[in-house]
Structure 1
Amino acid sequence: MRVVAAMSGGVDSAVAAARMLDAGHEVVGVHLALSQSAATLRESARGCCTIEDAGDARRVADVLGIPFYVWDMAARFQRDVVEDFRAEYAAGRTPNPCLRCNEKIKFAALLDKALALGFDAVATGHYARVVEATGADGGVRRELHRAVDAAKDQSYVLGVLDAEQLARSFFPLGDTTKPEIRREAAERGFYVANKPDSHDICFIPDGDTRGWLTRQLGAKPGEIVDSDGTVLGEHQGAFAYTVGQRRGLALGRPASDGQPRYVVEVRPEANQVVVGTADLLGVNAITGDHARWCGPAPDGVVHVGAQVRAHGEEYAATAWADGDRVEVRLDSRIRGVAPGQSVVLYDGTRVVGSATIAAARLDRERVP
């Protein structure tokens, strides 16, 4: 097969490209230029997509002896990921830009361009597995599963892939742990074998999300109130807060009962942040929209595992599809579920699909 290997300049994508070549595929390395003003050097493990990263990817391609190109997708990334991130926070929601990037850039823009140029598939360095299984009709289908290395598993951020995209995607690292990947990279002579992993939000390399949002949206002072409307403090922008947050509230009035306070709601229309005790955070019912299925949509009510954070715990639940929406009922209450986050559903290790959380609440009929 003719395969585009997405090469970020890191160790994971380098080994992924090498493994695709070892498997006998015709491989072309592609680095995605996602920044309209890329920094020359990476200053820390935060961020990515610097000119240095592009150079690292090119050096790996040279070692492998494969063609290498840089594809400019900065405008698309700015529109579909950065502007979406800013708009979601302005609306009082908490988005996950990595899911949006996978959906809109790596497995839409990149895959679409690759197919248009005559390639058959895209390979990335994500930690996840593609398993071929026999369907009820006797045909073979490709399923997305968790990686062997639970600490590095990235199936959550790939839950936005649909069946057609999954059919043309390869994740060569899913059966390997990160230490093994680094050893393999060193054995192959890759300069990036010990390069630090990038983390956090790539377009906010200093890690200061609140500061970035304030620069983008401007300071908008407002009230921090409790559930009955009593003013407890002031904030500089409701967009800087998310449900479940405890740190950085700077409340002027301590709680009379001595219990810590958490953000329980963000009201962008009133520019208010509502705080309360931990018991107000517990929810067991989630409504999601923009449902994406990695295979057939659930037929009726199904028992699933639900995960609401990239490296969070999986919770037992039931779920059912309703057009573009999905309803999830958790077997127990969980805290800190914010609109804008994604809920990803699992059947064992298999990813069923995902949805963007529109609302979360406590369904008292389900409370023991």
Structure 2
Amino acid sequence: MRVVAAMSGGVDSAVAAARMLDAGHEVVGVHLALSQSAATLRESARGCCTIEDAGDARRVADVLGIPFYVWDMAARFSRDVVEDFTREYAAGRTPNPCLRCNEKIKFAALLDKAVALGFDAVATGHYAQIVETADGRRELHRAVDTAKDQSYVLGVLDADQLSRAFFPLGDTEKPRIREEAAERGFFIAKKPDSHDICFIPDGDTRGWLTRRLGEAPGDIVDTSGEVVGHHDGAFAFTVGQRRGLGLSRPASDGRPRYVVEVRPRTNEVVVGTEELLGVNAISGDHARWCGPPPEGVVRVGAQVRAHGEEHAATAWADDGRVEVRLDERIRGVAPGQSVVLYDGTRVIGSATIAASRLEPVTTAPPAD
């Protein structure tokens, strides 16, 4: 096969490219230029896609003896990921830009361009596994290394995209990947992993949003509507948040308060007690299926954060919408997050959370 290896400049994508080459594929390394004003150097382990990262990827490609190119996708990334992220926060939602990047950039823009140029597939350094079934279908599964598993952020891929995707690291734990990189002579074997949001390298999401959206002073209110504080922009808050609220009036019972709702229309942030965060029902839209969509009511594992716990649940789909009923309450489920559904280690699909609520335990899903 002719394969594009997406090379970020990190150790994972370097080893992924090497393994594809070892497997006998014709491999070309591609670094995605996603920033319209890329920094020269990384800021510790935050961020990515710097000029330094592009240089690191090129040097690994030289060691492997494979062609290497930089593809400029900054405009597409800005439109489909950065602007989407900004709009979602402005609407009082909490998006995950990594899912959107995988959906719109790495397995849409990159894959489409690769196929147009005559390539068969794209390989990345994600920690996840592709399993082929007896009838030839390809399924997305969790990685062996549960601490590094990235199947959650890949839950937006559909069956066609999975048919042209390779994740060579899914069967290996991260310490072994670093050892392998050193054995191959990759100078980046000890390079720190990137984390947080790549286009906010200093980690200050609130400051970044304020610079883009401007200050918008408003009230922080309790569930009775009483003003208990003020803010400079409701967009800087998310459901479940406790720190950084700056409340001017403590709760009468002295208990900590959390953000329980963000109201962009009135520019209010609502705070309440921890108990108000507990929900057992989730409604999602923008459903994406990694294979055939579920038929009727099915038992699933539901995960609402990239490295969060999987929760036992029941789910059913209706066109592009998904309903999830959790066996037990979970906390801090915010609109805009994604819920990813699992059947064992297999990823069924995902949906963007539109709403969450607490329903009586007697509430039953519709009959098959």
Give TM-score, length-normalised by structure 1. Answer: 0.98
- Equivalence map 1:265-276=2 (5 Å): 265-276=261-272
- Cα offset, 1:49, TM superposition: 0.2
Matched with 2:110 is 110
Give TM-score, length-normalised by structure 2. Answer: 0.98
C-alpha distance in structure 1 between counterparts of 2:362 and 2:73, whole Å: 46
Matched with 2:124 is 124
C-alpha distance in structure 2 between counterparts of 1:41 and 1:337, whole Å: 35
Structure 1 unaligned runs (5+)? none
- Cα offset, 1:29, TM superposition: 0.2
- Cα offset, 1:366, TM superposition: 4.1
C-alpha distance in structure 1 between counterparts of 2:311 and 2:133, whole Å: 25
Deviations 1:64-98 (A, max 9, x none): 00000000000000000000000000000000000
C-alpha distance in structure 2 between counterparts of 1:243 and 1:109, whole Å: 32
1:180 matched to 2:180? The reply is no
- Cα offset, 1:179, TM superposition: 0.4
Q: Quick one: percent identity of the two aligned structures? A: 85
Amino acid at match of 1:23: A
8 Å CA contact 2:301–2:312 kept in 1: the answer is yes
C-alpha distance in structure 1 between counterparts of 2:337 and 2:133, whole Å: 30
Matched with 1:72 is 72
Amino acid at match of 2:42: R
Amino acid at match of 1:3: V
Amino acid at match of 1:121: A
Matched with 1:261 is 257
1:159 matched to 2:155? The reply is yes
8 Å CA contact 2:43–2:202 kept in 1: the answer is no
Matched with 2:50 is 50
Deviations 1:171-220 (A, max 9, x none): 00000011000000000000110000000000000000000000000011
- Equivalence map 1:1-368=2 (5 Å): 1-134=1-134, 139-366=135-362
8 Å CA contact 2:151–2:347 kept in 1: the answer is yes
- Cα offset, 1:158, TM superposition: 0.1
What's the secondary structure of 1:275's corresponding residue? strand
Paired positions, count: 364
What's the secondary structure of 1:193's corresponding residue? coil
Amino acid at match of 1:27: V
Structure 1 outlier segments of 4+, above 2 Å: none
What's the secondary structure of 2:333's corresponding residue? coil
What's the secondary structure of 2:137's corresponding residue? strand
What's the secondary structure of 1:357's corresponding residue? strand
- Cα offset, 1:140, TM superposition: 1.4
- Cα offset, 1:43, TM superposition: 2.2
C-alpha distance in structure 2 between counterparts of 1:290 and 1:235, whole Å: 31
Structure 2 unaligned runs (5+)? 364-368
- Cα offset, 1:365, TM superposition: 3.9
What's the secondary structure of 2:201's corresponding residue? coil
Amino acid at match of 1:247: R
Amino acid at match of 1:120: D
C-alpha distance in structure 2 between counterparts of 1:167 and 1:54, whole Å: 28
